[in-house]
Amino acid sequence: MKTADWIRMLSALGEPNAGNLPPDPTLLRGDRGEQRLWRACMGEAVGLDDLLADRGGPLLAPDAYLAIEVWAECELSALHALFRLAREAGAGRPDLLRRARQAAAWHLEHTQPDNSTNRPWALHAFLLLDSGSGEGRLYAETLLHNMAATEARSEPLSRWILSDAARELLIADGPGAIPYHSRP
């Protein structure tokens, strides 16, 4: 499927008139990693050094959460926010995109998208980082299927996530876009 096809599909499934930030207020306050990343997307100056450390794994420590499903939900939300920050910062902060690539690659190898969350967090990130192997596309398709096969399909947050993913794909397909496919 071409990027334009994904954009049309996600826009049709997404929340009409979706704002720039998630409608879940708990993502916009608090000190957990995904909350700090979303607050950074709001323009708030927050410390992110621990999340951006060049360690090659996930963004959030799995042992900080009671259940793997909760961790995966928060982790993919964090990846979604980090991709937004990387795009907004552009070439001035290559560390953001490098860290997002590392986390996404780790998830392709270690996280099963079909038992972690029904929300399609970071769907666009997996599409944009697909190196031609098809792994990123399949991961994104599974995230979308999980949402569509459950009640999450009618949830405002999931519909916002799809709209935001479509918006990010549209921007990434435009002039001056970040070269997502190049290696760090």
pLDDT tens column, 11-31? 999 999 999 999 999 999 999
Q: How far apart are CA 178 and CA 104, in angstroms?
A: 16
Which SS3 state, helix, strand or coil, does residue 148 take? helix
Q: Quick one: what percent of the chain has pLDDT higher than 90?
A: 72
Q: Which of 126, 64, 59 is nearest to 96 (CA)?
A: 59
Q: How far apart are CA 158 and CA 26, in angstroms?
A: 15
Question: H or E segment at 77?
Answer: helix 68-89
Q: Which of 72, 85, 86 is nearest to 119 (CA)?
A: 72
Give pLDDT tens digits for 48-90.
999 999 888 999 998 877 788 889 999 999 999 999 999 999 8
Each domain of the chain, given as residue ranges in start order, spans 3-172
pTM of the model: 0.92
Give pLDDT tens digits for 135-154.
999 999 999 999 999 888 89
Q: pLDDT at residue 179 above 80?
A: no
